């Protein structure tokens, strides 16, 4: 079987789909090669805890499944914990992805980081630029 049961479940029944109108942080990333675009919305309380997270993904089943799993993994966690989310952890939580779909999990990790960066920027919170190095915001999708 190409996809695990968990991947199929998160693709067919994605968690946390939608939009948060008054989001504290919004991150949008994309992969121009495959056409996948992910937008992630974070609601963060005064203690830095992610109280709600939603996503909209335009892409393949793996992109939807990794977005869904990533939201499940960071909901209720601190912003600092969310920043440690790796694409490897997302893939493991989904019981694996085909090699040619690993880039989808990288997008999920980047979408979380882009949303946190947006939150930091909006709140005027200082951060280490290195944390967000290599994140392509979606402007790169539109060249």
Catalytic residues: 34, 104
Residue 7, helix vs strand vs coil: helix
Give the Cα separation of 32 and 92 in Å (integer): 25
Residue 103, helix vs strand vs coil: helix
Q: What sections of 36-131 are H helices per DSSP?
A: 61-74, 79-83, 87-93, 102-123
Give the Cα separation of 106 and 47 in Å (integer): 27
- Helix H or strand E encompassing 37: strand 36-44
Give the Cα separation of 83 and 44 in Å (integer): 13
């Amino acid at each position: 079987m190409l996809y695990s049961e968990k991947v199929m479940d998160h693709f067919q029944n994605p968690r946390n789909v939608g939009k948060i109108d008054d989001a504290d942080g919004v991150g949008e990333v994309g992969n121009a090669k495959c056409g996948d675009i992910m937008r992630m919305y974070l609601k963060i309380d005064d203690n830095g805890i992610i109280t709600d997270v939603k996503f909209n993904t335009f892409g393949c089943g793996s992109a939807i499944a990794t977005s869904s799993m990533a939201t499940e993994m960071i909901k209720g966690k601190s912003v600092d914990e969310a920043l440690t989310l790796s694409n490897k952890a997302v893939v493991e939580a989904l019981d694996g992805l085909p090699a040619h779909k690993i880039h989808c999990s990288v997008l999920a990790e980047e979408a979380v980081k882009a949303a946190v960066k947006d939150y930091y920027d909006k709140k005027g919170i200082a951060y280490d630029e290195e944390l967000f190095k290599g994140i392509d915001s979606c402007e790169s999708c539109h060249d």
